[in-house]
Amino acid sequence: MALINENYLKLPGSYLFSEIAKRVEAYKAANPDADIIKLGIGDVTKPLPEAVITSMHKAVDEMADEKTFRGYGPEPGYNFLIEKIIEFDFGTRGVSLDMDEIFVSDGSKSDTANFQEIFGVDNKIAVTDPVYPVYIDSNVMAGRSGTLGADGKWTNLIYMPCTAENGFVPELPIEKADLIYLCFPNNPTGTTISKTELKKWVDYAKANQAIILYDAAYEAYIQEEDVAHSIYEIEGAKEVAIEFRSFSKNAGFTGTRCSYTVVPKEVMGYTAAGEAIDINKLWNRRHATKFNGVPYIIQKGAEAVYSKEGQKQIKALVDYYMFNAKLIREGIQSTGIEVFGGVNAPYIWLKTPKGMDSWSFFDKVLNDVNIVGTPGAGFGPSGEGYFRLTAFASRESTEEAIKRFTTKFKL
Ligand code: MLT
């Protein structure tokens, strides 16, 4: 008899974005003529940059020729890409990393979900609330969550509320946390924290022998000074932090799949007997065992992101989406709805008006103006009463959405 991992049975019916897609499909079936604008899932809409496409075409030709064909690549990624990552993403910010501290992968979703595997089941997990659901669901699957309470919280997890009341800045937990998930610029709130605030987390982790799992997938969207692009800009972070980076949101790789994870060799975990173990070695073992590397063609595309043209083209992409963010922020604000985020991130987090709950607001917006957003409650209990809009749609759709909000949407 094949016994299942019963932790899976604890999970809510479907992943948040699948649930939203289901509801939208049902609405479409009932209203086939509705012109629906999707500002829900944070998926990019502009094509891959020219430099990336050119490089990938060349790589395809190499794969067609016996002399340049490649089979399995190195599991952690090709040196040509890792060298560029180290030079451009870290060297320029005064952070030095070794080649074997970078692991190229197929996405920050998979890496943030999988990284917990190398830690014991009894670790205490801390998450910000609201939060990207993958961090929680992957720990539920692993058996670390306890049970889901009526308050929408898992009994064994530490929740750090991020709401308008605390400026969306999490407070250090009172209960001792072993693994801490942080995401800045934040998904879903679209807000971020200063270097001074981030330093408190690094100090906390050092004092508690904890590890920070730092998701920096939206790093390219940072506009303001005093916001760290990498957690390693903070003194001491290389001893306590793992950083996740992605090509999805800066270079349009959501469907192409390429990301990387930084695991400095100073980061230690411990055996029950108290022996310090190099986390880099464990992740390397896990990565090499379960993953055969990102395709050569895709890594060649990612490499081109760092070329002179590539850098210019990804800046133009980010500027494009950030202008959408400004349109949404200002447009929604003009209706009297309170708006947050959208300054250092492509997400706008708004307070649902008149005390309406997130899912009712989702239904109302879909029904009244045919716009899809994401209900804040889907990201955790502290997301209740909020609603997320993404700036990743086309300019035309964004402008049309704002026109509908400002002219047709009535509360
Ligand atoms: C989101 O909408 O929160 C993200 O796009 C999801 C993801 O990147 O996996």
Query: What integer is the mean pLDDT of 126-150?
Result: 97
> With 90 as the cut, is the pLDDT of residue 231 above it?
yes
**187 among the known binding-site residues?**
yes
pLDDT band at 312 (very low <50, low <70, confident <90, very high): very high
Q: Has residue 3 been placed in a domain?
A: no
Q: Which helix (H) or strand (E) holds 180?
A: strand 179-183
Q: Please choose from 20, 43, 245 the residue to mutate so as to test ligand 1's pocket, defined by most ligand atoms within 8 A of CB.
A: 43
Q: Where residue 387 sits, what CATH number does that domain have?
A: 3.90.1150.10
pLDDT band at 13 (very low <50, low <70, confident <90, very high): confident
Instruction: Print the domain residue range for 297.
Output: 53-308
| Rounded Cα distance, 256 and 297, in Å | 10
| pLDDT for the residue numbered 12 | 84
pLDDT band at 16 (very low <50, low <70, confident <90, very high): confident
Of 308, 341, 374, at which residue does a domain stop? Answer: 308
pLDDT one-digit tens code per residue, 62-95: 999 999 999 999 999 999 999 999 999 999 999 9
Percent of the chain with pLDDT over 90: 97
254 CB near ligand 1 (under 6 Å) = no
Closest CA to 252 of 329, 326, 182, 310: 310
| pLDDT for the residue numbered 309 | 98
| pLDDT for the residue numbered 69 | 98
Whether residue 263 sits in one domain with residue 205: yes
Whether residue 363 sits in one domain with residue 300: no
> With 80 as the cut, is the pLDDT of residue 280 above it?
yes
| pLDDT for the residue numbered 213 | 98
> With 80 as the cut, is the pLDDT of residue 113 above it?
yes
> Could you give the number of structural domains in the chain?
2
21 CB near ligand 1 (under 6 Å) = no
249 Cα–ligand 1 center, Å = 9
**132 among the known binding-site residues?**
yes
42 CB near ligand 1 (under 6 Å) = yes
Ligand 1 atom closest to Cα of residue 390 = 2
Of 287, 308, 329, at which residue does a domain stop? Answer: 308
pLDDT band at 411 (very low <50, low <70, confident <90, very high): confident
**109 among the known binding-site residues?**
yes
Q: Has residue 6 been placed in a domain?
A: no
Percent of the chain with pLDDT over 70: 100
131 Cα–ligand 1 center, Å = 11
Q: Where residue 66 sits, what CATH number does that domain have?
A: 3.40.640.10
| pLDDT for the residue numbered 410 | 83
| Rounded Cα distance, 17 and 15, in Å | 6
pLDDT band at 19 (very low <50, low <70, confident <90, very high): confident
**257 among the known binding-site residues?**
yes
Q: Please choose from 187, 189, 392 the residue to mutate so as to test ligand 1's pocket, defined by most ligand atoms within 8 A of CB.
A: 187
**Which amino acid residue places its CA nearest to atom 9 of ligand 1?**
109
Q: Please choose from 15, 17, 114 the residue to mutate so as to test ligand 1's pocket, defined by most ligand atoms within 8 A of CB.
A: 17
Q: Please choose from 15, 18, 38, 41 the residue to mutate so as to test ligand 1's pocket, defined by most ligand atoms within 8 A of CB.
A: 41
> With 90 as the cut, is the pLDDT of residue 47 above it?
yes
Q: What average pLDDT does the chain have?
A: 97
Of 280, 308, 336, at which residue does a domain stop? Answer: 308
| pLDDT for the residue numbered 119 | 98
pTM recorded for the entire structure: 0.97
Q: Give the orientation angle of helix 358-369 with respect to helix 16-30, to 10 degrees.
A: 30
pLDDT band at 14 (very low <50, low <70, confident <90, very high): confident
| pLDDT for the residue numbered 355 | 87
41 Cα–ligand 1 center, Å = 6
Whether residue 388 sits in one domain with residue 337: yes
Ligand 1 atom closest to Cα of residue 109 = 9
Whether residue 303 sits in one domain with residue 211: yes
Residue 103's CB is within 10 A of a number of other CB atoms, namely 24
> With 80 as the cut, is the pLDDT of residue 32 above it?
yes
Q: Has residue 7 been placed in a domain?
A: no
Query: What integer is the mean pLDDT of 168-182?
Result: 97
**247 among the known binding-site residues?**
yes
pLDDT one-digit tens code per residue, 344-384: 999 999 999 988 999 999 999 999 999 999 999 999 999 99
Instruction: Give yes or no for a contact between 189 and 162, defined as CB atoms under 8 angstroms apart.
Output: yes
| 52 φ/ψ angles, rounded to the nearest 5 degrees | -70, -45
Q: Has residue 194 been placed in a domain?
A: yes
**405 among the known binding-site residues?**
no
- C-beta pairs of 28-36 under 8 Å, 24+ apart in sequence: 34/370, 35/370, 36/366, 36/370, 36/371, 36/372
Query: What integer is the mean pLDDT of 330-340?
Result: 96
Whether residue 356 sits in one domain with residue 273: no
> With 80 as the cut, is the pLDDT of residue 252 above it?
yes
Whether residue 164 sits in one domain with residue 301: yes
Interface confidence, given as ipTM, is 0.93
DSSP per position, 310-349: HHHHHHHHHHHHHHHHHHHHHHHHTTT--EEE-SSSSEEE
Q: What pairs with residue 68 in β-bridges?
A: none
| pLDDT for the residue numbered 377 | 95
Count the alpha carbons within 13 Å of 129 in the hemisphere toward its beta carbon.
Answer: 21
Query: What integer is the mean pLDDT of 322-341?
Result: 97
